[in-house]
Amino acid sequence: MDDPSNAAGAAPASRIRTRILILGGGFGGITTARQLERLLGSDASVEITLISRENFFLFTPMLHEVAASDVDITHIVNPIRKVLRHTNLFVGEVESIDLDARRIVASHGLSRHQHEFQYDHLVLGLGAVTSFHGIPDLQAHALQMKSLADAIVLRNRLIENLEEADADCAADRRTTALTLVVAGGGFAGVETVAAANDFLRDSLPSYPHLSEEDLRVVLVHDGAVLLPELDEALGSYTETKLADYKVEVRTGVRVAGVSRTGVRLDDGMNIPTNTLVWTAGSAANPLIQTLPCKLERGHVMVTEYLEVPDWPNLWAVGDCASIRDPRTGNLYPPTAQHAMREGRVLARNIVASLRGGKKQPFVFTTIGTLASLGRRTGVARIFGTNFSGFPAWLLWRAIYLSKLPRFEKKLRVALDWLLDIVFSKDLVQFRAEIGPSAAYADDESAPGETEAPARTSAAGDRQADDAPLGRDREIASSDKLR
Protein backbone atom coordinates (compact mmCIF):
# COMPACT_ATOMS: atom_id res chain seq x y z
CA MET A 1 0.00 0.00 0.00
CA ASP A 2 1.45 3.31 -1.11
CA ASP A 3 2.21 6.43 0.93
CA PRO A 4 -0.41 9.10 0.13
CA SER A 5 2.12 11.86 0.62
CA ASN A 6 3.54 10.85 -2.76
CA ALA A 7 0.20 9.96 -4.38
CA ALA A 8 -1.58 13.28 -4.66
CA GLY A 9 1.21 15.79 -4.84
CA ALA A 10 1.13 16.41 -1.10
CA ALA A 11 3.71 18.45 0.70
CA PRO A 12 6.30 16.69 2.89
CA ALA A 13 4.82 15.51 6.19
CA SER A 14 7.17 17.72 8.22
CA ARG A 15 5.53 20.81 6.73
CA ILE A 16 1.96 19.65 7.34
CA ARG A 17 0.26 20.44 10.62
CA THR A 18 -3.42 20.06 9.69
CA ARG A 19 -4.73 17.69 7.03
CA ILE A 20 -8.25 18.29 5.70
CA LEU A 21 -9.55 15.40 3.61
CA ILE A 22 -12.71 15.73 1.50
CA LEU A 23 -14.43 12.67 0.07
CA GLY A 24 -16.51 13.33 -3.03
CA GLY A 25 -16.31 15.67 -6.01
CA GLY A 26 -19.95 16.73 -6.20
CA PHE A 27 -21.53 20.07 -5.34
CA GLY A 28 -20.93 19.71 -1.60
CA GLY A 29 -17.33 18.52 -1.78
CA ILE A 30 -16.19 20.92 -4.50
CA THR A 31 -17.84 23.93 -2.84
CA THR A 32 -16.26 23.05 0.51
CA ALA A 33 -12.81 22.84 -1.09
CA ARG A 34 -13.23 26.10 -3.03
CA GLN A 35 -14.36 27.96 0.08
CA LEU A 36 -11.47 26.54 2.10
CA GLU A 37 -9.05 27.78 -0.56
CA ARG A 38 -10.56 31.27 -0.35
CA LEU A 39 -10.47 31.37 3.43
CA LEU A 40 -7.07 29.78 3.97
CA GLY A 41 -5.29 31.25 0.98
CA SER A 42 -1.70 30.01 0.83
CA ASP A 43 -1.57 28.97 4.49
CA ALA A 44 1.24 26.38 4.48
CA SER A 45 0.13 24.95 7.81
CA VAL A 46 -2.97 23.37 6.19
CA GLU A 47 -3.16 20.75 3.47
CA ILE A 48 -6.42 20.16 1.61
CA THR A 49 -6.92 16.89 -0.28
CA LEU A 50 -9.99 15.86 -2.26
CA ILE A 51 -10.68 12.28 -3.36
CA SER A 52 -13.03 11.96 -6.33
CA ARG A 53 -13.84 9.02 -8.57
CA GLU A 54 -13.77 11.40 -11.57
CA ASN A 55 -11.23 14.06 -12.44
CA PHE A 56 -14.03 16.45 -13.34
CA PHE A 57 -16.95 18.20 -11.67
CA LEU A 58 -20.27 17.39 -13.37
CA PHE A 59 -22.96 20.08 -13.48
CA THR A 60 -25.87 17.67 -13.10
CA PRO A 61 -28.76 20.15 -13.67
CA MET A 62 -27.79 20.18 -17.36
CA LEU A 63 -27.28 16.43 -17.69
CA HIS A 64 -30.46 15.89 -19.69
CA GLU A 65 -29.26 18.45 -22.24
CA VAL A 66 -26.29 16.21 -23.05
CA ALA A 67 -28.61 13.25 -23.60
CA ALA A 68 -30.74 15.39 -25.93
CA SER A 69 -27.79 16.82 -27.88
CA ASP A 70 -28.57 20.38 -26.75
CA VAL A 71 -25.05 20.92 -25.39
CA ASP A 72 -21.71 19.25 -26.03
CA ILE A 73 -20.63 16.43 -23.72
CA THR A 74 -17.59 18.24 -22.31
CA HIS A 75 -19.25 21.60 -21.81
CA ILE A 76 -21.08 20.77 -18.58
CA VAL A 77 -18.00 19.28 -16.91
CA ASN A 78 -15.03 21.13 -15.44
CA PRO A 79 -11.61 19.60 -14.75
CA ILE A 80 -11.24 19.65 -10.98
CA ARG A 81 -7.60 20.67 -11.32
CA LYS A 82 -8.75 23.90 -13.01
CA VAL A 83 -11.47 24.55 -10.44
CA LEU A 84 -9.26 23.92 -7.39
CA ARG A 85 -5.80 25.46 -7.61
CA HIS A 86 -4.52 24.77 -4.09
CA THR A 87 -6.09 21.39 -3.35
CA ASN A 88 -4.42 18.03 -3.82
CA LEU A 89 -6.58 15.83 -6.06
CA PHE A 90 -6.62 12.05 -5.87
CA VAL A 91 -8.75 10.42 -8.58
CA GLY A 92 -9.90 7.04 -7.38
CA GLU A 93 -12.42 5.00 -5.41
CA VAL A 94 -12.80 5.24 -1.65
CA GLU A 95 -12.56 1.64 -0.45
CA SER A 96 -12.88 2.00 3.33
CA ILE A 97 -13.25 4.60 6.09
CA ASP A 98 -11.77 3.96 9.54
CA LEU A 99 -13.03 6.71 11.84
CA ASP A 100 -11.21 5.40 14.92
CA ALA A 101 -7.82 5.36 13.22
CA ARG A 102 -8.62 8.45 11.12
CA ARG A 103 -7.57 6.56 8.01
CA ILE A 104 -9.03 6.34 4.51
CA VAL A 105 -8.12 3.68 1.97
CA ALA A 106 -8.61 4.56 -1.70
CA SER A 107 -7.65 2.77 -4.91
CA HIS A 108 -6.87 3.99 -8.41
CA GLY A 109 -5.13 3.14 -11.66
CA LEU A 110 -5.64 0.18 -13.96
CA SER A 111 -4.24 -2.11 -11.28
CA ARG A 112 -6.56 -0.61 -8.64
CA HIS A 113 -3.65 -0.37 -6.21
CA GLN A 114 -4.41 1.19 -2.85
CA HIS A 115 -3.29 4.28 -0.94
CA GLU A 116 -3.81 5.21 2.70
CA PHE A 117 -4.72 8.75 3.75
CA GLN A 118 -4.53 10.07 7.29
CA TYR A 119 -6.54 13.12 8.24
CA ASP A 120 -7.19 15.64 10.99
CA HIS A 121 -10.53 16.80 9.57
CA LEU A 122 -12.70 14.60 7.35
CA VAL A 123 -15.57 15.86 5.17
CA LEU A 124 -18.05 13.23 3.95
CA GLY A 125 -19.50 14.32 0.62
CA LEU A 126 -19.97 10.98 -1.13
CA GLY A 127 -23.43 11.79 -2.47
CA ALA A 128 -26.17 9.33 -3.30
CA VAL A 129 -26.55 6.27 -5.51
CA THR A 130 -29.52 4.89 -7.42
CA SER A 131 -31.97 2.72 -5.49
CA PHE A 132 -33.92 0.10 -7.45
CA HIS A 133 -36.31 -0.74 -4.60
CA GLY A 134 -35.90 -4.47 -5.12
CA ILE A 135 -37.89 -4.50 -8.37
CA PRO A 136 -37.09 -7.70 -10.31
CA ASP A 137 -34.52 -7.24 -13.11
CA LEU A 138 -34.71 -3.46 -12.88
CA GLN A 139 -31.01 -2.91 -12.23
CA ALA A 140 -30.02 -5.22 -15.10
CA HIS A 141 -32.28 -3.61 -17.69
CA ALA A 142 -32.81 0.05 -16.76
CA LEU A 143 -30.73 3.04 -17.77
CA GLN A 144 -30.00 5.78 -15.23
CA MET A 145 -29.43 9.53 -15.27
CA LYS A 146 -26.85 10.32 -12.61
CA SER A 147 -23.51 10.46 -14.43
CA LEU A 148 -22.10 11.81 -17.67
CA ALA A 149 -21.75 8.23 -18.88
CA ASP A 150 -25.46 7.67 -18.19
CA ALA A 151 -26.37 10.61 -20.43
CA ILE A 152 -24.10 9.31 -23.20
CA VAL A 153 -25.59 5.83 -22.93
CA LEU A 154 -29.13 7.20 -23.20
CA ARG A 155 -28.22 9.38 -26.18
CA ASN A 156 -26.63 6.40 -27.93
CA ARG A 157 -29.62 4.19 -27.19
CA LEU A 158 -32.06 6.74 -28.62
CA ILE A 159 -30.01 7.12 -31.81
CA GLU A 160 -29.46 3.37 -32.18
CA ASN A 161 -33.21 2.76 -31.86
CA LEU A 162 -33.93 5.36 -34.56
CA GLU A 163 -31.33 3.80 -36.87
CA GLU A 164 -32.69 0.30 -36.36
CA ALA A 165 -36.34 1.27 -36.66
CA ASP A 166 -35.73 3.07 -39.96
CA ALA A 167 -34.55 -0.14 -41.62
CA ASP A 168 -36.97 -2.36 -43.56
CA CYS A 169 -35.96 -5.41 -41.53
CA ALA A 170 -37.16 -3.83 -38.27
CA ALA A 171 -40.90 -3.91 -38.94
CA ASP A 172 -41.51 -6.41 -36.13
CA ARG A 173 -39.28 -4.51 -33.68
CA ARG A 174 -40.26 -0.95 -34.53
CA THR A 175 -42.78 -0.55 -31.72
CA THR A 176 -40.29 -1.72 -29.10
CA ALA A 177 -37.48 0.44 -30.49
CA LEU A 178 -39.56 3.59 -30.77
CA THR A 179 -41.11 3.46 -27.30
CA LEU A 180 -39.32 5.24 -24.45
CA VAL A 181 -40.39 4.88 -20.81
CA VAL A 182 -39.09 7.17 -18.06
CA ALA A 183 -39.93 6.26 -14.46
CA GLY A 184 -40.04 9.08 -11.91
CA GLY A 185 -42.02 12.30 -11.93
CA GLY A 186 -39.52 14.46 -10.06
CA PHE A 187 -37.14 16.97 -11.62
CA ALA A 188 -34.80 14.37 -13.13
CA GLY A 189 -37.60 12.32 -14.67
CA VAL A 190 -39.58 15.25 -16.06
CA GLU A 191 -36.56 16.98 -17.56
CA THR A 192 -35.23 13.72 -19.01
CA VAL A 193 -38.50 12.74 -20.66
CA ALA A 194 -39.03 16.27 -21.99
CA ALA A 195 -35.54 16.52 -23.46
CA ALA A 196 -35.63 13.00 -24.94
CA ASN A 197 -39.06 13.64 -26.45
CA ASP A 198 -37.80 16.80 -28.16
CA PHE A 199 -34.70 14.99 -29.39
CA LEU A 200 -36.63 12.07 -30.89
CA ARG A 201 -39.27 14.18 -32.59
CA ASP A 202 -36.79 16.74 -33.93
CA SER A 203 -34.67 13.90 -35.35
CA LEU A 204 -37.48 12.28 -37.36
CA PRO A 205 -36.90 14.32 -40.58
CA SER A 206 -33.58 12.50 -40.93
CA TYR A 207 -35.33 9.11 -40.97
CA PRO A 208 -37.56 8.80 -44.06
CA HIS A 209 -39.35 5.63 -42.94
CA LEU A 210 -40.43 6.97 -39.54
CA SER A 211 -43.23 9.31 -38.53
CA GLU A 212 -44.52 10.98 -35.37
CA GLU A 213 -47.20 8.31 -35.08
CA ASP A 214 -44.48 5.67 -34.64
CA LEU A 215 -43.10 7.30 -31.50
CA ARG A 216 -44.41 6.62 -28.02
CA VAL A 217 -42.92 8.42 -25.02
CA VAL A 218 -44.26 7.50 -21.58
CA LEU A 219 -43.66 9.06 -18.16
CA VAL A 220 -44.57 6.88 -15.17
CA HIS A 221 -45.01 8.47 -11.73
CA ASP A 222 -46.29 6.86 -8.55
CA GLY A 223 -47.67 10.11 -7.14
CA ALA A 224 -50.84 11.99 -7.96
CA VAL A 225 -49.11 15.07 -9.38
CA LEU A 226 -45.81 15.57 -11.20
CA LEU A 227 -43.01 17.58 -9.63
CA PRO A 228 -44.19 17.19 -6.02
CA GLU A 229 -41.32 19.50 -4.98
CA LEU A 230 -43.35 22.35 -6.49
CA ASP A 231 -46.97 23.16 -5.77
CA GLU A 232 -49.93 21.31 -7.26
CA ALA A 233 -50.74 24.03 -9.79
CA LEU A 234 -47.30 23.82 -11.43
CA GLY A 235 -47.46 20.01 -11.32
CA SER A 236 -50.78 20.06 -13.17
CA TYR A 237 -49.39 22.57 -15.67
CA THR A 238 -46.42 20.28 -16.26
CA GLU A 239 -48.68 17.31 -16.98
CA THR A 240 -50.79 19.34 -19.39
CA LYS A 241 -47.77 20.67 -21.27
CA LEU A 242 -46.15 17.25 -21.60
CA ALA A 243 -49.41 15.87 -22.95
CA ASP A 244 -49.46 18.71 -25.50
CA TYR A 245 -45.99 17.60 -26.58
CA LYS A 246 -47.32 14.03 -27.06
CA VAL A 247 -45.84 12.55 -23.89
CA GLU A 248 -48.11 9.94 -22.32
CA VAL A 249 -48.21 10.68 -18.58
CA ARG A 250 -49.32 7.90 -16.24
CA THR A 251 -49.65 8.97 -12.61
CA GLY A 252 -50.50 6.83 -9.60
CA VAL A 253 -48.74 3.73 -10.97
CA ARG A 254 -45.36 2.12 -10.44
CA VAL A 255 -42.98 -0.07 -12.39
CA ALA A 256 -43.53 -3.64 -11.20
CA GLY A 257 -41.18 -5.54 -13.50
CA VAL A 258 -38.83 -5.15 -16.44
CA SER A 259 -37.61 -7.41 -19.25
CA ARG A 260 -35.53 -6.95 -22.37
CA THR A 261 -38.64 -6.21 -24.39
CA GLY A 262 -40.97 -4.40 -22.05
CA VAL A 263 -42.00 -2.74 -18.80
CA ARG A 264 -44.82 -4.02 -16.60
CA LEU A 265 -46.74 -1.55 -14.41
CA ASP A 266 -48.51 -2.42 -11.19
CA ASP A 267 -51.91 -1.70 -12.77
CA GLY A 268 -51.35 -4.60 -15.17
CA MET A 269 -50.30 -2.59 -18.21
CA ASN A 270 -47.39 -3.93 -20.27
CA ILE A 271 -45.46 -1.42 -22.38
CA PRO A 272 -43.29 -2.91 -25.16
CA THR A 273 -39.93 -1.12 -25.08
CA ASN A 274 -36.20 -1.74 -24.94
CA THR A 275 -35.50 1.57 -23.17
CA LEU A 276 -36.47 2.31 -19.59
CA VAL A 277 -34.83 5.26 -17.82
CA TRP A 278 -35.07 4.93 -14.04
CA THR A 279 -35.02 8.18 -12.02
CA ALA A 280 -37.43 7.15 -9.25
CA GLY A 281 -35.15 6.24 -6.38
CA SER A 282 -31.93 7.19 -4.60
CA ALA A 283 -30.09 6.09 -1.48
CA ALA A 284 -27.01 7.18 0.43
CA ASN A 285 -23.63 5.87 -0.68
CA PRO A 286 -23.16 2.29 0.62
CA LEU A 287 -19.91 3.28 2.34
CA ILE A 288 -21.94 5.45 4.70
CA GLN A 289 -23.74 2.35 5.98
CA THR A 290 -20.43 0.94 7.23
CA LEU A 291 -19.71 3.89 9.55
CA PRO A 292 -20.25 3.65 13.32
CA CYS A 293 -21.74 7.15 13.56
CA LYS A 294 -25.46 7.88 13.91
CA LEU A 295 -27.48 7.45 10.75
CA GLU A 296 -30.97 8.60 9.81
CA ARG A 297 -32.60 6.78 6.91
CA GLY A 298 -29.12 5.74 5.81
CA HIS A 299 -27.71 9.28 5.92
CA VAL A 300 -25.20 10.71 8.39
CA MET A 301 -26.83 12.75 11.15
CA VAL A 302 -25.16 16.12 11.71
CA THR A 303 -25.62 19.07 14.02
CA GLU A 304 -26.61 22.55 12.87
CA TYR A 305 -22.88 23.17 12.38
CA LEU A 306 -22.65 20.19 9.97
CA GLU A 307 -20.55 18.25 12.49
CA VAL A 308 -21.15 14.56 13.13
CA PRO A 309 -22.08 14.09 16.81
CA ASP A 310 -19.59 12.18 19.00
CA TRP A 311 -16.90 12.26 16.29
CA PRO A 312 -14.65 15.34 16.61
CA ASN A 313 -13.52 16.91 13.34
CA LEU A 314 -15.90 14.74 11.28
CA TRP A 315 -18.24 16.66 8.98
CA ALA A 316 -20.84 15.75 6.35
CA VAL A 317 -22.37 17.65 3.45
CA GLY A 318 -24.76 17.12 0.56
CA ASP A 319 -26.83 14.06 -0.27
CA CYS A 320 -25.13 11.74 2.22
CA ALA A 321 -25.94 14.03 5.17
CA SER A 322 -29.17 14.30 7.16
CA ILE A 323 -29.51 18.02 7.94
CA ARG A 324 -32.53 19.44 9.72
CA ASP A 325 -33.82 22.97 9.46
CA PRO A 326 -33.64 24.31 13.05
CA ARG A 327 -36.68 26.49 12.37
CA THR A 328 -39.04 23.70 11.28
CA GLY A 329 -37.37 20.44 12.26
CA ASN A 330 -37.77 19.18 8.69
CA LEU A 331 -34.93 17.75 6.64
CA TYR A 332 -33.36 20.01 4.06
CA PRO A 333 -33.91 18.66 0.51
CA PRO A 334 -30.93 17.07 -1.29
CA THR A 335 -30.56 19.73 -3.99
CA ALA A 336 -27.53 21.41 -5.53
CA GLN A 337 -28.39 24.84 -4.10
CA HIS A 338 -28.48 23.39 -0.58
CA ALA A 339 -25.26 21.41 -1.04
CA MET A 340 -23.44 24.53 -2.23
CA ARG A 341 -24.59 26.60 0.74
CA GLU A 342 -23.79 23.74 3.11
CA GLY A 343 -20.28 23.53 1.67
CA ARG A 344 -19.62 27.21 2.28
CA VAL A 345 -20.85 27.07 5.88
CA LEU A 346 -18.92 23.85 6.53
CA ALA A 347 -15.68 25.40 5.25
CA ARG A 348 -16.15 28.43 7.50
CA ASN A 349 -16.76 26.16 10.48
CA ILE A 350 -13.62 24.13 9.78
CA VAL A 351 -11.59 27.35 9.67
CA ALA A 352 -13.31 28.51 12.86
CA SER A 353 -12.32 25.28 14.60
CA LEU A 354 -8.73 25.71 13.40
CA ARG A 355 -8.43 29.34 14.47
CA GLY A 356 -10.64 29.38 17.53
CA GLY A 357 -13.48 31.32 15.92
CA LYS A 358 -17.23 31.03 16.33
CA LYS A 359 -19.01 28.39 14.28
CA GLN A 360 -21.96 29.30 12.10
CA PRO A 361 -25.18 27.23 12.08
CA PHE A 362 -26.54 26.22 8.70
CA VAL A 363 -29.83 27.99 8.08
CA PHE A 364 -31.07 28.37 4.54
CA THR A 365 -34.37 29.10 2.83
CA THR A 366 -34.82 27.63 -0.63
CA ILE A 367 -34.49 30.41 -3.17
CA GLY A 368 -36.39 28.65 -5.89
CA THR A 369 -36.91 25.49 -7.90
CA LEU A 370 -37.06 25.22 -11.67
CA ALA A 371 -37.65 22.59 -14.34
CA SER A 372 -37.37 22.59 -18.11
CA LEU A 373 -40.31 21.00 -19.96
CA GLY A 374 -38.98 21.13 -23.51
CA ARG A 375 -40.13 23.27 -26.45
CA ARG A 376 -38.80 26.36 -24.66
CA THR A 377 -41.24 26.05 -21.79
CA GLY A 378 -40.63 25.48 -18.11
CA VAL A 379 -41.96 25.85 -14.61
CA ALA A 380 -40.41 27.72 -11.70
CA ARG A 381 -41.17 28.81 -8.17
CA ILE A 382 -38.94 31.69 -7.07
CA PHE A 383 -39.35 33.21 -3.61
CA GLY A 384 -42.87 31.81 -3.44
CA THR A 385 -43.95 33.14 -6.84
CA ASN A 386 -44.92 30.74 -9.64
CA PHE A 387 -43.70 31.12 -13.21
CA SER A 388 -44.56 28.95 -16.19
CA GLY A 389 -44.10 28.79 -19.93
CA PHE A 390 -41.41 30.74 -21.78
CA PRO A 391 -40.49 33.09 -18.87
CA ALA A 392 -39.82 30.08 -16.62
CA TRP A 393 -37.68 28.48 -19.32
CA LEU A 394 -35.65 31.69 -19.64
CA LEU A 395 -35.21 31.77 -15.87
CA TRP A 396 -34.03 28.14 -15.92
CA ARG A 397 -31.37 28.87 -18.50
CA ALA A 398 -30.22 32.16 -16.98
CA ILE A 399 -29.95 30.84 -13.42
CA TYR A 400 -28.21 27.58 -14.24
CA LEU A 401 -25.85 29.23 -16.70
CA SER A 402 -24.82 31.64 -13.96
CA LYS A 403 -24.15 28.73 -11.59
CA LEU A 404 -21.98 26.79 -14.05
CA PRO A 405 -18.34 27.08 -12.90
CA ARG A 406 -15.77 28.96 -14.99
CA PHE A 407 -16.42 31.55 -17.69
CA GLU A 408 -15.07 29.25 -20.41
CA LYS A 409 -17.81 26.69 -19.80
CA LYS A 410 -20.49 29.35 -19.53
CA LEU A 411 -19.50 30.69 -22.93
CA ARG A 412 -19.38 27.25 -24.53
CA VAL A 413 -22.85 26.32 -23.24
CA ALA A 414 -24.27 29.69 -24.33
CA LEU A 415 -22.87 29.12 -27.83
CA ASP A 416 -24.33 25.59 -27.87
CA TRP A 417 -27.75 27.02 -27.06
CA LEU A 418 -27.40 29.67 -29.76
CA LEU A 419 -26.36 27.13 -32.40
CA ASP A 420 -29.21 24.84 -31.36
CA ILE A 421 -31.61 27.51 -32.61
CA VAL A 422 -29.96 27.55 -36.05
CA PHE A 423 -29.03 23.91 -36.65
CA SER A 424 -30.81 20.58 -36.24
CA LYS A 425 -29.98 17.97 -33.61
CA ASP A 426 -26.65 16.17 -33.90
CA LEU A 427 -27.23 12.44 -34.47
CA VAL A 428 -23.67 11.24 -33.95
CA GLN A 429 -23.25 8.22 -31.68
CA PHE A 430 -20.27 8.25 -29.32
CA ARG A 431 -19.09 4.66 -29.32
CA ALA A 432 -16.54 3.45 -26.78
CA GLU A 433 -15.40 0.47 -28.80
CA ILE A 434 -11.99 -0.65 -29.94
CA GLY A 435 -11.83 -0.56 -33.73
CA PRO A 436 -11.82 -3.92 -35.54
CA SER A 437 -8.36 -5.34 -36.25
CA ALA A 438 -6.76 -8.61 -37.22
CA ALA A 439 -3.28 -10.13 -37.46
CA TYR A 440 -2.38 -12.62 -40.18
CA ALA A 441 0.30 -15.28 -40.23
CA ASP A 442 2.25 -16.00 -43.42
CA ASP A 443 0.09 -19.00 -44.23
CA GLU A 444 -3.26 -17.26 -43.63
CA SER A 445 -5.58 -15.97 -46.32
CA ALA A 446 -5.62 -12.39 -47.46
CA PRO A 447 -7.80 -9.99 -45.50
CA GLY A 448 -10.41 -9.87 -48.24
CA GLU A 449 -10.95 -13.62 -47.95
CA THR A 450 -11.36 -13.84 -44.19
CA GLU A 451 -14.41 -13.41 -42.01
CA ALA A 452 -15.03 -10.01 -40.55
CA PRO A 453 -13.59 -9.63 -37.04
CA ALA A 454 -16.03 -9.75 -34.17
CA ARG A 455 -17.14 -6.52 -32.62
CA THR A 456 -15.35 -5.77 -29.41
CA SER A 457 -16.24 -3.57 -26.52
CA ALA A 458 -14.04 -1.08 -24.75
CA ALA A 459 -12.90 -3.90 -22.50
CA GLY A 460 -12.06 -6.16 -25.44
CA ASP A 461 -14.95 -8.57 -24.82
CA ARG A 462 -17.23 -9.87 -27.53
CA GLN A 463 -20.56 -8.09 -27.64
CA ALA A 464 -23.20 -10.56 -26.48
CA ASP A 465 -26.46 -10.58 -28.41
CA ASP A 466 -28.35 -11.16 -25.18
CA ALA A 467 -26.69 -8.34 -23.21
CA PRO A 468 -29.06 -6.83 -20.63
CA LEU A 469 -31.25 -3.97 -21.76
CA GLY A 470 -29.44 -1.64 -19.36
CA ARG A 471 -25.98 -2.48 -20.75
CA ASP A 472 -25.69 -0.46 -23.92
CA ARG A 473 -24.05 -2.04 -26.95
CA GLU A 474 -21.85 1.00 -27.41
CA ILE A 475 -20.97 1.24 -23.74
CA ALA A 476 -21.50 -1.99 -21.84
CA SER A 477 -22.14 -0.01 -18.66
CA SER A 478 -21.54 3.48 -17.39
CA ASP A 479 -18.63 2.13 -15.35
CA LYS A 480 -16.58 1.72 -18.53
CA LEU A 481 -16.51 5.46 -18.99
CA ARG A 482 -15.44 6.14 -15.39
Which pLDDT belongs to residue 460? 38
Please list the residues that pair with 255 across neighbouring strands.
Answer: 265
Which pLDDT belongs to residue 430? 81
Domain chopping of the chain, boundaries: 4-53+92-130+283-355, 138-280+367-399, 434-473
Its pTM stands at 0.87
Q: Which CATH superfamily is domain 4-53+92-130+283-355 in?
A: FAD/NAD(P)-binding domain (3.50.50.60)
Q: Is-same-fold flag (4-53+92-130+283-355; 138-280+367-399)?
A: yes
Which pLDDT belongs to residue 478? 38
Q: What is the 3-state secondary structure (H, E, C) of the chain?
A: CECHHHHCCCCCHHHCCEEEEEECCCHHHHHHHHHHHHHHCCCCCEEEEEEECCCEEECHHHHHHHHCCCCCHHHHEEEHHHHCCCCEEEECEEEEEECCCCEEEEEECCCCEEEEEECCEEEECCCEEECCCCCCCHHHHCECCCCHHHHHHHHHHHHHHHHHHCCHHHCCCHHHHCEEEEECCCHHHHHHHHHHHHHHHHHHHHCCCCCHHHCEEEEEECCCCCCCCCCHHHHHHHHHHHHHCCEEEEECCCEEEEECCEEEECCCCEEECCEEEECCCEEECHHHHHCCCCEECCEEECCCCCECCCCCCEEECHHHEECECCCCCCECCCCHHHHHHHHHHHHHHHHHHHHCCCCCCCCCCCCEEEEEEECCEEEEEECCEEEEEHHHHHHHHHHHHHHCCCHHHHHHHHHHHHHHHHCCCCCCCCCCCCCCCCCCCCCCCCHHHCCCCCCECCCCCECCCCCCCCCCCCCCCHHHHC
Which pLDDT belongs to residue 139? 93
Which residues, given as ranges, of the chain have pLDDT below 50?
5-14, 450-468, 471-482
Which pLDDT belongs to residue 458? 37
Which pLDDT belongs to residue 429? 85
CB 25 within 8 A of CB 52: yes
Q: CB 424: neighbour CB atoms within 10 A? A: 11
137 Cβ contact partners less than 8 Å away, ≥ 6 residues apart = 257, 258, 259
Which pLDDT belongs to residue 42? 81
Which pLDDT belongs to residue 13? 47
CB 343 within 8 A of CB 31: yes
| CA 375 distance to own-chain centroid | 23
Which pLDDT belongs to residue 431? 76
CATH topology of domain 138-280+367-399: FAD/NAD(P)-binding domain (3.50.50)
Cα–Cα distance for residue pair 121/131, rounded to 1 Å: 30
